[in-house]
């Protein structure tokens, strides 16, 4: 698949070139904001790629947005692989990253390596993401030294929801903020090519962004990050309910889909559909 026209802000040639891991550093150096979004299936990946999204994340948020889980903890590696394979079929340009789900990398770096290898070989992703600070440094080092590009994730790490007592902002006091900056530097030194910063004060995100040469990708972390990531269902308004503070809804597709299905049901019951024009 090729793009029909150049993406806004890029040349036609650049719009058709695949985004690579080294591009992330170049984007930061050039001051080019990185655009990242989650996707969990073929049609969403196809649309995101055509729109010029730089990086698509098959996040373990698939658990809460698609599979109906209460949080991300139950998501399995097989489920991530299943969805990542579908996303892979729709992507031509964007860098494809997948989460290592809870329980597939925490025990030891060797376990993380086995899990990450499956994602690259079976799903065709180009990089993986792991949550956590200092304890994950050996894991990130093992993965990157094994040739697996790895993205770090600091701040509100959803897999630690039970430790935090819910989805709560992190890094709000001086001690935890200092530690998060140190963790970010350690992740960079371990070989991470980027860091997701979730639900932390904007001032702290700014400090972390200045402290590392690799790009920071914010979600609820202010405007000074090198890029932004949002969940597909949040920005498109697919799931009913009040949106998160860090989310801007660019559409209300959930309401439109419900209305369309209601109209379809009404026409079938009223024998208005199908009509002669819909029949052989």
Q: φ and ψ at 55, to 5 degrees?
A: -145, 130
The crossing angle, in degrees rounded to 10, of helices 137-145 and 174-190 is: 20
State the maximum Cα–Cα separation within the chain, in Å, rounded to a whole number: 71
C-alpha closest to that of 199 among 232, 161, 167, 239? 167
Could you confirm whether 122 is annotated as catalytic? no
Check: CB of residue 150 under 8 Å from CB of residue 127.
yes
Number of CB atoms found within 10 A of residue 70's CB: 9
Strands 127-131 and 95-99: parallel
Own/partner contacts of 239-247, CB < 8 Å, gap of 24 or more, are: 239/65, 244/220, 245/220, 246/199, 246/219, 246/220, 246/221
| Catalytically annotated residue among 79, 131, 188, 198 | 198
Check: CB of residue 197 under 8 Å from CB of residue 225.
yes
Joined together, the tokens standing for residue 117 give 């290898």
As annotated, the active-site residues are 198
């Amino acid at each position: 698949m090729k793009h029909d026209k150049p993406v806004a802000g890029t040349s036609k040639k650049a719009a058709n070139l695949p985004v690579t891991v080294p591009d992330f550093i170049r984007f930061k150096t050039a001051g080019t904001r990185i655009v990242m979004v989650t996707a969990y299936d073929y049609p969403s990946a196809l649309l995101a790629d055509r729109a010029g999204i730089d990086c698509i994340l098959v996040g373990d948020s698939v658990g809460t947005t698609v599979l109906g889980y209460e949080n991300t903890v139950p998501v399995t590696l097989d489920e991530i692989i299943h969805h990542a394979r579908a996303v892979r079929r729709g992507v031509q340009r964007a860098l494809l990253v997948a989460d290592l789900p809870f329980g597939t990398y925490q025990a030891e770096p060797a376990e993380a390596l086995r899990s990450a290898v499956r994602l690259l070989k079976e799903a065709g992703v180009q990089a993986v993401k792991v949550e956590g600070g200092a304890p994950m440094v050996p894991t990130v080092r093992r993965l990157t030294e094994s040739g697996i590009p790895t993205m770090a994730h600091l701040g509100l790490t959803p897999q630690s929801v039970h430790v935090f007592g819910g989805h709560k902002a992190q890094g709000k006091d001086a001690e935890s903020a200092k530690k998060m900056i140190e963790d970010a530097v350690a992740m960079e030194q371990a070989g991470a090519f980027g860091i997701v910063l979730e639900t932390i004060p904007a001032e702290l995100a700014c400090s972390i962004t200045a402290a590392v040469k690799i790009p920071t990708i914010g979600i609820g972390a202010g405007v000074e990050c090198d890029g932004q990531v949002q969940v597909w269902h949040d920005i498109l308004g697919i799931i009913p309910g009040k949106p998160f503070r860090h989310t801007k809804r660019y559409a209300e597709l959930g309401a439109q889909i419900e209305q369309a299905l209601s109209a379809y049901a009404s026409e079938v019951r009223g024998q208005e559909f199908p009509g002669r024009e819909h029949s052989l």
